[in-house]
Amino acid sequence: MTDEIEKFEEELRSFRPRDLSDAVRKRIRDELAAGEATGDQSPSANDLVGTSGQRHELGFGLAGGAQTQRAWFGRFVSTRLRRALTIAALGLALLTGIGWTTWAFLYDPPLLQDDFNDRSFDANLWMPQPEVDRRFKEPMGVSERNRYLKLVNRGFLITRREFRESISLSFDWSWSELSPMLDPLYADILTVALRTTGNASPRHPYEISDGLLVVFYVWGPFMQIRQRLDGQDTVLGSTEDAGLKLPIPADEWHKIRITDDGETISVYMYGPEIGDRFTEKPLLQVRCPQKFEGHHIAIYNREFLNETPHESLIDNVVVRAIPRKH
Ligand SMILES: [Ca+2]
Ligand SMILES: [Ca+2]
């Protein structure tokens, strides 16, 4: 974890309620009451705060408390949200029994959120797999298990909802080394399609029909942003142009965040070999005005190819609205 988040957590751990002034107590109560009015669909206060004498031990995790989520929190939440969470945590230390995220996310409520933790695919959030003409016997599709979602041989995760507002999409990704020949050229490829209808070709290799595609090539390693419109693919930008290398080791969780304000697409990424160089500064940024029919989001991996299966794991998908730039 970063020094910053450690300092933040230490600050929370050492908090003593009696240090609060009456004015701050009143403000916290007011904010919490306002947050309650928005409805709570999140973990209980105990997920964030457990009390122990005068000190408050905080188990910090947005949706499960895993180490990766802690690091994710430290690197990617905005300063404003962090401040909001601090106040929420302080407030909950005073007023127990109120869902912490009710208030904490008042500032930034997600439009969509799935932690894939109940081993049941949520058909309210996600579309069924596109119908395709199968060429192979191998499994193809998605499976929610073991607290993440598995994409297998062109498995598609497509939002039911369309997002016409400016958005930030974040999720965790880990790909599995399954190639029987251990040929790096046949490593997985992960694609995130924004502004898509979610339709895919029924024929191998079952590519998505349209959208703004952010593509992570493990074998490069590099990343591209492409536009697919009217059957034409145009590369809008590539990390190769900047001479960037993106080592993406197998079986390691990577954090990806993509923002689309309607004009500009920015991609941020954290990984064990990439470090935090691109958590605040975009790894790649392109301009692409709105001209697409659909506004679903699709995340999918590589197809079964040349006797080689492909598998990627996805976790903690969150879509938030962000301010429009224009
Ligand atoms: Ca589920
Ligand atoms: Ca999970």
- 277 and 165 belong to one structural domain: yes
- Which residue spans within the chain are E strands per DSSP? 49-52, 55-58, 110-114, 141-145, 148-152, 156-158, 167-176, 189-196, 211-217, 222-229, 232-238, 254-260, 264-271, 275-278, 284-287, 296-300, 311-321
- 21 and 162 belong to one structural domain: no
227-283 pLDDT, tens digit per residue, is 999 999 999 999 999 888 889 999 999 999 999 999 999 999 999 999 999 999 999
Q: Please, which residues have CB within 8 angstroms of residue 258's CB and are 6 or more apart in sequence? A: 168, 169, 170, 192, 194, 214, 265, 266, 267, 268
Residue pointed to by tokens 């679903």: 296
pLDDT of residue 52: 29
Q: Please, which residues have CB within 8 angstroms of residue 46's CB and are 6 or more apart in sequence? A: none
How many angstroms separate the CA atoms of 87 and 27, rounded?
Answer: 10
Choose one of 59, 92, 108: the last residue of a domain: 108
Q: Which ligand is nearest to the CA of 172?
A: 2
> Is residue 326 one of the residues assigned to a domain?
no
**Residue 45 and residue 100 in contact, taking contact as beta carbons nearer than 8 Å:** yes
84 C-alpha to center of ligand 2: Å? Answer: 24
Structural domain of residue 183, as residue ranges? 111-321
> Is residue 20 one of the residues assigned to a domain?
yes
124 C-alpha to center of ligand 1: Å? Answer: 10
147 C-alpha to center of ligand 1: Å? Answer: 8
315 C-alpha to center of ligand 2: Å? Answer: 5
- Whole-model pTM above 0.85? no
156-185 pLDDT, tens digit per residue, is 999 999 999 999 999 999 999 987 777 888
Choose one of 73, 108, 143: the last residue of a domain: 108
- 168 and 257 belong to one structural domain: yes
Residues near ion ligand 1 (Cβ under 5 Å): 118, 120, 122
173 C-alpha to center of ligand 2: Å? Answer: 11
- 128 and 267 belong to one structural domain: yes
Name residues of the chain where pLDDT drops below 50. Answer: 1, 36-77, 96-107
What is residue 82's three-state secondary structure?
helix
Number of domains, the chain: 2
Q: Which ligand is nearest to the CA of 120?
A: 1
- 13 and 64 belong to one structural domain: yes
7 C-alpha to center of ligand 1: Å? Answer: 33
